[in-house]
Amino acid sequence: MDDREQYLRYRHDRIALAAIGARLESQVSRVSVRLPRSLAESAVAAWNREELGGIGEESREEYELRDDAAELALIGLAISERGVWDGEEAVVDLDVVQVAAALRAGR
């Protein structure tokens, strides 16, 4: 068996996954969530933070850390734009991609 054959299968798997995503997108786009004030404020602070340094060569781990920080900042943007404070919690509709990113980071 050709050792690259598996990648052809993976390419077909990606096509199927994308087709599932296309079907789900119209069914699930945003999810209403409640976040404790401290976490919501951390996300908003990440959105408001200015990163002055450029991005040089980075390891995969550094890229993943930066990517997670960007996802947190986007959650902060959502809270800033459409979040509602309910006592000590922020209620906000997040894009399912942001929810998925937070879930992945928690693993």
pLDDT tens digits for range 70-95:
999 999 999 999 999 999 999 999 99
Q: How remote is the C-alpha of 92 from its chain's centroid?
A: 15
pTM for the structure as a whole: 0.80
Separation CA 14–CA 68 (nearest Å): 23
Structure tokens of 81? 């734009």
Separation CA 37–CA 86 (nearest Å): 9
| Interstrand relation of 30-36 and 89-95 (parallel, antiparallel or unpaired) | antiparallel
**pLDDT value for 26:** 83
pLDDT tens by residue, 24-79: 888 888 999 999 999 999 999 999 999 877 778 899 999 999 999 999 999 999 99
**pLDDT value for 12:** 94
